[in-house]
Structure 1
Amino acid sequence: MDRAQIVHENFLRRVAAGDLPQGHAPSGPLSPELAVSIYRSGCLTRALDRTSRAMQSKGQGFYTIGSSGHEGMAAIAAALRPTDMAFLHYRDAAFQIQRAEQVPGQTITWDMLLSFACSSEDPISGGRHKVLGSKALTIPPQTSTIASHLPKAVGAAYSIGLAKRQPPEHKQLPDDAIVLCSFGDASANHSTAQGAINTASWTAYQNIPMPLLWVCEDNGIGISTKTPTGWIAANFSSRPGLKYFSCDGLDIYETFRAAQEAAEYVRKRRKPAFLHIRTIRLYGHAGADVPTTYMAKAEVEAEEANDPLLHAVRLLETAGALSPSQALDIYNRTGERVDRIAHEACSRPRLDNARDVMASLIPPKRECAPSNGPTAEERAAAFGGDMKQMDQPQIMSRLINWTLTDLMLEHREIAMMGEDIGRKGGVYGVTQKLANRFGRARVIDTLLDEQSILGLGLGMAQNGFLPIPEIQFLAYYHNAEDQIRGEGATLPFFSNGQYTNPMVLRIAGLGYQKGFGGHFHNDNSFAAIRDVPGVILACPSNGANAAMMLREAVRLAREEQRLVIFLEPIALYPMRDLHEQGDGLWMQRYPDPSQRLEFGQVSVHGDGTDLAIVTFGNGTYLSRQAQAKLAGDGINARVIDLNWLSPLPEESLLEAAAGCANVLIVDETRRTGGLAEALMALFTERSDVPHARLVAEDSFIPTGPAYAVTMPSADSIIAAARSLVGETR
């Protein structure tokens, strides 16, 4: 028989017979009224779990992962404020239900059933997933991720202290708020969880405010793999910078007391705490999972006998708050009410076309206060002696530095974070002087953990900041790419645009570094970025474009709430010359702060009609060299610099290439999965012009003299151009 039905019938039988499990007497500050409210939330959690399974069996629901056994989370919700942002474990329906009791006007049963039914009227995801979350309840949506929400909880908690000193325009959380983040005992072992908890403790150890309450829901098993007895306590009870609390989640009185104590500690001390709550898991992991296939039946039955709702009935009776017959009546009436509402929810409309599904991939625009930029006096104070050099051509790294300075002066909600960006000024000096100009609270030297860097940015963005995190090298991005794919890009999608995490992620990357590198420091693949829906990828090839594109990237994040990745070619940071040593032709003057290069706009160099060379980044530099030599062969070419790599600026590109007899695509990324594949498809589908591609080999990049042999060169571009034009003349 279905285990959910067994647990249901056991509850009815045992409460009616007064056969309740043994346990401690109720104690602590939980009032009778609130205790009954918590029990009601547990009953609703249980009824929704049973109904969701029934809906799935009828084809009316599409995803079930239950919260039964974790009803004690309702007591934790009752101990917190509804303005305390909560990043929830996927078994925390009881928490969300109880929090809804704290906010007037909520229709939590209806809302959650719409989510089960994948109705387009679901108020959080618009029918895109069965997901916990609510804007009104300060619960950003979570799906069944494994600990990937922990890093951004650190960012949200850090942002509260910074926002108190420097309130951002779109601030969301009160100054005395705390952040809750819950997860399971199995997820606690994930490297993402370990890194995030370590980051929070590392931060607090330095007396930096970190008002964060971790809640580990320990049901002793992860799908079928047992958690060793005592492992969670042994792992987390003695960590520096982390206060440990524990409670039995089967006892709502004890859980409420422990949660109150932990929350008070975090709120007053502004330091993180770890609340270890013992729970059980009923019904197996999710959906059709049958626990008796990997657990002894007697073990499953022993867990079911410890049903937290049975414990709650005993505790309420002992406290004189509710009789067993009253408790049974609440349970039955709750189930009947859920059945009635579910019948209606299943009749509500669902998404049925790609346009509507994709409508929330792009966040909505938001109103921003007009900005006139910094005053001349503010700029002079920040730039100091650099002001005298602004009328002289400069290398790309310096122009990016000046652009960041102007942007941070103009937008006080910008904060930067990354490895070595403050005191050292970055590996390549791009962020030099910024920490002195703006303070270490806005230019944050992080620990060496890319997941924590990106999580810090994602979480801060949810409290109104505009983060500009830095990943030192493109290859390091892969250590943490799920923070962008699984968290950053999906947040507006799964919240129907209600939650966003706008930011500009700077990454130094691509190839052609001389004398330093290998595949960790020269990485010519960004396929893992291009295939993430909703993310914008920009790549400048010269300093002036870098300045103007970075300003546009900040505008896109600030006003349109976009997540922009700004890929900076390392080899071009210090580049001075183009054709011969000392010509200085690759240096440029700092564009006026009002100038931007608009999203989707390409740059065109030359007006030749024999050949259009379509490229980006280092390819633009090499193609400009080839362009001059091709002119000597009588081949008049124009070089089209894409600037924006995802989504491709298709219309602007086709317009820029119009009138050319041939198109050569020069792509420094790899043949397989590289940008040229999309460009070849574009010209095949929308143009009759002969076209070809020159790309990098499917190889990693070596250190030493062979650093560039797998990628296009000026000579290979010339040879490919001659071949293509020669075939069509």
Structure 2
Amino acid sequence: MDRASIVHDNFLRRVAARDFPAGGGAAPGLTAPEGVTLFRAQCLSRALDLTSREMQKAGTGFYTIGSSGHEGMAAVAHALRPDDIAFLHYRDAAFQIARAQQVPGQTMTWDMLLSFACSREDPTSGGRHKVLGSRALMIPPQTSTIASHLPKAVGAAYGIGAARRRPPEHRALADGGLAMCSFGDASANHSTAQGAINTAGWTSVQAVPLPLLFVCEDNGIGISTKTPAGWIEASMRHRAGMRYFRADGLNLYETFAVARQAAEYVRSRRKPAFLHLRTIRLYGHAGADVATSYLPRAEVEAEEANDPLLHSVRLLAEAGALEPTDALSIYEDTRARVERVAAEAVKRPHLDSAEAVRASLIPPPRPCAPRNGPAPEDRAAAFGGDMRAMEQPQPMSRLINWALTDLMLEVPEVTLMGEDVGRKGGVYGVTQKLLARFGADRVIDTLLDEQSILGLAIGMAHNGFIPVPEIQFLAYLHNAEDQLRGEAATLPFFSDGQFTNPMVVRIAGLGYQRGFGGHFHNDNSLAVLRDIPGLILACPSNGPDAARMLRECVRLAREEQRVVVFLEPIALYSMRDLHEAGDGGWIGPYPAPDERIALGEIGVHGEGRDLAIVSYGNGAYLSRQAQAELIERGVQARVIDLRWLAPLPQDALLQAVEGCGAVLVVDECRRTASQSEGLMTLFSEHGVGPAARVVAEDCFIATGPAYAAPLPSREGIVDAALALTGGRR
């Protein structure tokens, strides 16, 4: 027999014989009906685990990581409010079931079985994944996360406090609520968990409201790797800024009492707490995992003998709430009902096309109150003497600063966050004066942790804010890229568009900084951003474009709920001249606040028909330089500035190169995995050509005089263009 069947048979036999494991008594707090209701939730969670394995064997189910041994989470749900946002560990079916018992009209058995079957009628993910989650229950769906959901839980808790001071238009989380996140003892060791816990404590000691409850479900093992005895308590009990609570998750009554105490602490103090919950793991990690292959059989059997459902039956009997015979009937009736419902759920239709699977990648637009631009008097007060400079040409960094100011005046939900964005005004001064203009609750100086910066943004977006987090340098994103890939961009996909976390991530990056910083400050790889489905990647090449594009990015986040990355070329922040010193060819006046460059709208400079040079960012700047020299050599070229790198503006681009004799792609990113590969493929597939490319070498960037050696140059562009067109050398 498999272990699941053994545990099932043991339960039937031991309840009938009134052979219960020893344990603590029934703490006060739960009424008899409440205790029975929670036991029903535990039984349903267990029955779903058993049925999921049967469905997998029959080829009708596709997920078997169960919640058996963690059924005590039903009591945690009962200790919270149903509008407290909950980011759940994948073993928390009992939590979701118990929360559903608090909200009328829920059909949790049917819903979860549809999810096991990956039916397109699954109300959570639409058949895309088996996930816990529910809009009605305020549980954003998670995939099989290893603590990657903890940073956004910190952000959601911060957003609850921030909304008290400045309620957003699309506020979703209740005033007086808290954010809860649960995870396993093994996940607690992950850098993402440690960073989130550290950030919560760091924030708390500064007296910033942060109503957050961490729940660590400690079953003592991560698949096959043991958690050292006492490790979680030793490492978490004395964390600064956070109160530690401990409960036996096998004891339904104790878990409820301690969880309620922890929740009351978080809610009243508006400070984070850590609830350490002892659990066990039954059946192994998942259906394919045989625990006895790496654990002694005696140890596995000892855990099985400590089944939390046996403890619950004992406690309910001791409290006079439920006789064991009645508990056994509830268990068996629940098991039979789940099997009956499963027989119908597996017949429901599945997703049957790529279009159907992709349908939720792009979230639905949401109605927003009309914005008519910042009021003149507000602009005068905010800009002060800068108003007089707006008609004069200015470099990119200053125009981005002014665009941020206008956006923050117009849209109160826009909130900046990042390391050094406030007091210092950013590494390159792009956010100077914004702290003085808007205050510390809208220009947030964060600790040095990119995962926490993006998590703060994701969580605040859950409560209706429009976060604009800053990552200081493109290379620093790699510390936290999964927060975009695994959390932000996937949320609408796995929730069938029901949950979103729109934002505009500002990243300073790309190469050509003269002699500064090497590859950590001159990073020319965008591959990790370009291949995230649903993400928008924008990259301006000049100041006026940057201001107009940034406004469109905020509109996309606010109205269309999109996740956008706004990549700012560092080397062009202060660039003024194009061809020769003093010509002012790369600066421009500040565009009026209502001017935007729409998503997919490219820039075309010149009407030459001999050659189309396609580029972006620094490449667009160099291509414009090369364009002048090519004209002198008899080659009439147009320069096409992509502006939008993902999704690639294919139709506009093909129209822009139409009628040109040849196409040259100039890409400052590396030869391998750069935009140029996609562009060359596009042109080849549509019969555009001949085409060639000028790209960076597959190499990191050096510090010192060789800073630009591996990168495209004006001279290299000219040479490639002449070779492609047969022009004069």
Q: Which residue of 1 aligns with 2:297?
A: 297
Counterpart code for 1:79: A
Q: Which residue of 1 aligns with 2:178?
A: 178
Q: Distance in 2 between matches of 1:684 and 1:355?
A: 25
Q: Which residue of 2 aligns with 1:270?
A: 270
1:692 aligns with 2:692: yes
Number of residues of Structure 1 aligned to a counterpart in Structure 2: 729
What secondary structure, in the 3-state scheme, does the structure 1 residue paired with 2:518 have? coil
Q: Which residue of 1 aligns with 2:44?
A: 44
What secondary structure, in the 3-state scheme, does the structure 2 residue paired with 1:613 have? strand
Q: Which residue of 1 aligns with 2:594?
A: 594
| Deviation at residue 727 of structure 1 after TM alignment | 7.7
Counterpart code for 2:482: D
Q: Which residue of 2 aligns with 1:423?
A: 423
Segment drifting more, 507-516 vs 685-694: 685-694
Q: Which residue of 2 aligns with 1:703?
A: 703
What secondary structure, in the 3-state scheme, does the structure 2 residue paired with 1:666 have? strand
Identity among equivalent positions (%) equals 71
| Deviation at residue 728 of structure 1 after TM alignment | 12
Matches within 5 A, 1:381-396: 381-396=381-396
Q: Which residue of 1 aligns with 2:251?
A: 251
Q: Which residue of 1 aligns with 2:7?
A: 7
TM score, norm. by length of structure 2? 0.99
Cα contact 2:177–2:267 (8 A) shared by 1:
yes
What secondary structure, in the 3-state scheme, does the structure 2 residue paired with 1:597 have? coil
Q: Which residue of 1 aligns with 2:502?
A: 502
What secondary structure, in the 3-state scheme, does the structure 1 residue paired with 2:266 have? helix
Q: Which residue of 2 aligns with 1:413?
A: 413
Q: Distance in 2 between matches of 1:25 and 1:631?
A: 89
Q: Which residue of 2 aligns with 1:320?
A: 320
Q: Distance in 2 between matches of 1:505 and 1:678?
A: 23
Q: Which residue of 1 aligns with 2:482?
A: 482
Counterpart code for 2:105: G
| Deviation at residue 517 of structure 1 after TM alignment | 1.7
Counterpart code for 2:535: V
Q: Distance in 1 between matches of 2:511 and 2:24?
A: 65
Q: Which residue of 2 aligns with 1:121?
A: 121
Q: Which residue of 2 aligns with 1:224?
A: 224
Q: Which residue of 1 aligns with 2:307?
A: 307
Q: Which residue of 2 aligns with 1:493?
A: 493
Q: Which residue of 2 aligns with 1:203?
A: 203
What secondary structure, in the 3-state scheme, does the structure 1 residue paired with 2:151 have? helix
Matches within 5 A, 1:533-572: 533-572=533-572
| Deviation at residue 463 of structure 1 after TM alignment | 0.6
Residues 531-567 of structure 1 deviation map (CA, whole Å, 9 limit, x = unaligned): 0000000000000000000000001111110000000
What secondary structure, in the 3-state scheme, does the structure 1 residue paired with 2:244 have? strand
Counterpart code for 1:82: P
Q: Which residue of 2 aligns with 1:342?
A: 342
Q: Which residue of 2 aligns with 1:215?
A: 215
Q: Which residue of 2 aligns with 1:643?
A: 643
Matches within 5 A, 1:36-185: 36-185=36-185
Q: Distance in 2 between matches of 1:24 and 1:689?
A: 78
What secondary structure, in the 3-state scheme, does the structure 1 residue paired with 2:645 have? strand
| Deviation at residue 515 of structure 1 after TM alignment | 2.1
Q: Distance in 2 between matches of 1:459 and 1:94?
A: 24
Counterpart code for 1:683: F
Counterpart code for 2:234: A
| Deviation at residue 62 of structure 1 after TM alignment | 0.8
Cα contact 2:70–2:281 (8 A) shared by 1:
yes
Q: Which runs of 5+ in 2 are unaligned?
A: none
Q: Distance in 1 between matches of 2:678 and 2:361?
A: 21
Q: Distance in 2 between matches of 1:275 and 1:526?
A: 40
What secondary structure, in the 3-state scheme, does the structure 2 residue paired with 1:404 have? helix
Q: Distance in 2 between matches of 1:181 and 1:693?
A: 48
Q: Distance in 2 between matches of 1:3 and 1:728?
A: 79
Residues 48-69 of structure 1 deviation map (CA, whole Å, 9 limit, x = unaligned): 0000000000000011100000
Cα contact 2:245–2:258 (8 A) shared by 1:
yes
Counterpart code for 2:614: V
Counterpart code for 1:627: Q
Q: Distance in 2 between matches of 1:25 and 1:197?
A: 32
Q: Distance in 2 between matches of 1:689 and 1:671?
A: 19
Q: Distance in 2 between matches of 1:25 and 1:638?
A: 81
List 4+ stretches of structure 1 deviating above 4 A.
Answer: none
Q: Distance in 2 between matches of 1:225 and 1:322?
A: 38
TM score, norm. by length of structure 1? 0.99
What secondary structure, in the 3-state scheme, does the structure 2 residue paired with 1:130 have? coil
Counterpart code for 2:391: D
Q: Which residue of 2 aligns with 1:580?
A: 580
Q: Distance in 1 between matches of 2:564 and 2:24?
A: 54
| Deviation at residue 143 of structure 1 after TM alignment | 1.2
Q: Distance in 2 between matches of 1:727 and 1:424?
A: 50
Residues 600-645 of structure 1 deviation map (CA, whole Å, 9 limit, x = unaligned): 0100111111111000000011011111111110111110000000
Q: Which residue of 1 aligns with 2:449?
A: 449
Counterpart code for 1:63: Y
| Deviation at residue 688 of structure 1 after TM alignment | 3.6
What secondary structure, in the 3-state scheme, does the structure 2 residue paired with 1:140 have? coil
Counterpart code for 2:417: M
Cα contact 2:633–2:727 (8 A) shared by 1:
no
Cα contact 2:141–2:495 (8 A) shared by 1:
yes
Go from structure 1 to structure 2 and tell me whether the alpha carbon gap of 1:690 and 1:717 turns closer, same or farther (over 3 Å shift): same
Q: Distance in 2 between matches of 1:288 and 1:496?
A: 28
RMSD: 0.9
Q: Distance in 2 between matches of 1:632 and 1:350?
A: 62
| Deviation at residue 656 of structure 1 after TM alignment | 1.0
Counterpart code for 2:65: I
What secondary structure, in the 3-state scheme, does the structure 1 residue paired with 2:385 have? helix
Q: Distance in 2 between matches of 1:348 and 1:389?
A: 64
Matches within 5 A, 1:510-549: 510-549=510-549
Residues 32-62 of structure 1 deviation map (CA, whole Å, 9 limit, x = unaligned): 1111111110000000000000000000001
Q: Distance in 1 between matches of 2:198 and 2:473?
A: 23
Counterpart code for 2:163: A
Go from structure 1 to structure 2 and tell me whether the alpha carbon gap of 1:35 and 1:728 turns closer, same or farther (over 3 Å shift): farther
What secondary structure, in the 3-state scheme, does the structure 2 residue paired with 1:326 have? helix
Cα contact 2:395–2:587 (8 A) shared by 1:
yes
Counterpart code for 2:338: V
Counterpart code for 2:428: Y
Counterpart code for 2:250: L
| Deviation at residue 689 of structure 1 after TM alignment | 2.4
Counterpart code for 2:679: L
Q: Distance in 2 between matches of 1:567 and 1:81?
A: 40
